[in-house]
Amino acid sequence: MCGIVGIIAARPVVTDIYDSLVQLQHRGQDAAGIITCNEGLHIKKGTGLVRDIFQARHMERLQGHMGIGHTRYPTSGGKSGDEVQPFWTSVPNGIAFAHNGNIVNYLQLRDEVITKRKRYLNTYSDSEMLMQLFADVLQRCIGHNPTHLISDSTFFDGLCIAASELFSLIKGSVSAVSVIKGRGLIAFRDPHGIRPLVMGERTSSDGKKEYIFASEDTMFYMLGYTLIRDVAPGELIYVTEAGELFSKIVQHRAFTPCIFEYVYFARPDTMMNNINIYRSRLRMGENLGHLWQKRYGELRPDVIIPAPSTANTMALSMARVLGVNYSEGLYKNTFIGRTFIMADQKQRRQSVRYKLVPQLLEIKGKDVMIVDDSIVRGTTSKEIVKMVKEFGAKKVYFVSACPPVCKPCYYGVDIPTHEELIASSKTEEEIRAYLEADILLYQQLEGLVEAVTRKGDHHIDTPCTACLGGTYIHEQEGQ
């Protein structure tokens, strides 16, 4: 899971890309990078948070009216600085590339890129492999002639051929942005649309159209962009340096976006696949409330408290359905990162205590319901229950807005092994006992899918629910 952004404008783009990466920081805290382009490619990458990587001297040399950026949450490759995106290659013509997703058949394609296509790879990143694979096909389409001798429409045809071949070869998820020196900005999304990618537009002071492509539209308003639409599954969009836009859906398959984006990753102020994240989470809480009524009748807690902050919306809606007081009884220190993407269990457990502080008056002597977005490893959930009990709760009910996460994700969420998933080896009763909760309630899968898909002209065939026990997309296709 990562955050990507690409901008082409009538003025230098580095500041807008930097501001965009800050707005996408929730999608990756490990590293970040920016590449801008004018007569050449200008690069700055580093590990850590966006604000710590880019200094004034870096911003000054990142010249150009088009560029791309990336915030990293690694699901492929290692954690060294060599793996930080965006990547670049000089052939053909100079290409910079940033990718959000994960490739299941990476090793097979890596071997093909190296042995059959004779392209050199510096890292074990699937993103670098994708870039070299894309560049190889593009070079075969346009030849070795200088790209300025090729018309935009011919160049676009070559881009579409390259994307189509890429989609035919890969098993996994791809949302990508790229700049090509002397040509323009491109964006494309795999035919299943697993990872998000949205498009915005604004008009410069001299009337020129300017475009942005990003994982989420969280930065559009502050930068003056209007959300146009999502990049469609299987679509490639090419914006020339002159601002002319070409687009084509190069492959059609079932539209199966990741459901975990709605549960956890995306910011609540995001529109994704024409679905409002905030409203979908309200519906998750509503469905949870009805499920609680069905299971436990008139039993009610004294107070409902979210595990902040993704679950705030879900808990508020559930409290309304049950007619129970809502309280932010766990204060969150916003300067601590997201525990789900911490490096290891010990670090996650420690960071929960640093990040969350129970409020005594909201908890002591009460039956407390804690609503969280999900239970993945169980580490955070167990610590939260323990803290609330230490602050004097009589009973603790734990409710998850997501069904049990019982299988690894191969499409960009860092859940690589069954051993890390508490639901893969324990029953719900065993999980309740491990958490030391008095009641444990999981959302049912049909309730979650209904909450996500109830509203919006989204054209989703069915969300990807493989990590919740569903079928992996590449297995559905017999790949």
Q: How far is CA 221 from the centre of its chain?
A: 20
Mean pLDDT of 57-76: 91
Q: How confident is the model at residue 337 (pLDDT cuts 50, 70, 90)?
A: low
Q: What CATH class has 3-253? A: alpha beta
The residues, any chain, with a CB within 8 Å of residue 138's CB and separated by 6 or more, are 92, 95, 158, 159, 161, 162
Give the pLDDT confidence of 6-40 residue by residue, as tens digits.
999 999 999 999 999 999 999 999 999 999 999 99
Burial 19-53 (b: 16+ CB within 10 A, else e): bbbbbbbbbbbbbbbbbbbeeebbbbbbbebbeeb
The tokens describing 170, both together, are 């890969």
Read off the pTM. 0.93
For residues 283 and 275, give the distance between their C-alpha atoms in angstroms, rounded to a whole number: 12
Active site residue 2: yes
Q: How confident is the model at residue 89 (pLDDT cuts 50, 70, 90)?
A: very high
Mean pLDDT of 74-83: 64
Give the pLDDT confidence of 92-137 residue by residue, as tens digits.
889 999 999 999 999 999 999 999 999 999 999 999 999 999 999 9
**Which segment, 15-29, 69-83, 141-155, is predicted with the most confidence on average?**
15-29
Is the omega angle on the peptide bond into residue 92 within 30 degrees of 0, that is, cis? yes
Classified as helix, coil or strand, 134 is helix
Q: How confident is the model at residue 349 (pLDDT cuts 50, 70, 90)?
A: low
For residues 110 and 84, give the distance between their C-alpha atoms in angstroms, rounded to a whole number: 18
The tokens describing 471, both together, are 């079928």
Mean pLDDT of the chain: 93
pLDDT at 76 over 60: no
Contact yes or no for 7/16 (Cβ under 8 A)? yes
Q: How confident is the model at residue 1 (pLDDT cuts 50, 70, 90)?
A: confident
For domain 276-468, give the fold: Rossmann fold (3.40.50)
3-253 and 276-468, same CATH topology: no
Give the pLDDT confidence of 405-443 residue by residue, as tens digits.
999 999 988 776 888 899 999 999 999 999 999 999 999
Contact yes or no for 155/236 (Cβ under 8 A)? no
C-alpha distance across the termini of the chain, in Å: 23
Partners of 372 in the β-ladder: 400
Q: Kindly give the residue spans of alpha helices, DSSP state H, lying in 143-243.
A: 152-169, 220-223
Give 228-291 as a DSSP string: EEEPPTTEEEEEETT--EEEEE--------BTHIIIIIS-TT-EETTEEHHHHHHHHHHHHHHH
The tokens describing 427, both together, are 């029953």
Give the pLDDT confidence of 208-245 residue by residue, as tens digits.
999 999 999 999 999 999 999 999 999 999 999 999 99
Q: What strands lie across the sheet with 66-72, from one edge to the other? A: 41-47, 31-37, 66-72, 3-8, 209-214, 198-203, 226-230
More confident residue, 300 or 334: 300
Partners of 174 in the β-ladder: 101
Domain map (residue ranges) of the chain: 3-253, 276-468
pLDDT at 171 over 80: yes
Residue type, 305: I
For residues 131 and 158, give the distance between their C-alpha atoms in angstroms, rounded to a whole number: 15
User: Which uninterrupted H or E stretch holds 294?
Assistant: helix 277-296
Contact yes or no for 159/186 (Cβ under 8 A)? yes
Among candidate residues 2, 37, 141, 258, the one labeled active-site is 2
For residues 387 and 370, give the distance between their C-alpha atoms in angstroms, rounded to a whole number: 12
- Percent of the chain at pLDDT exceeding 70: 93
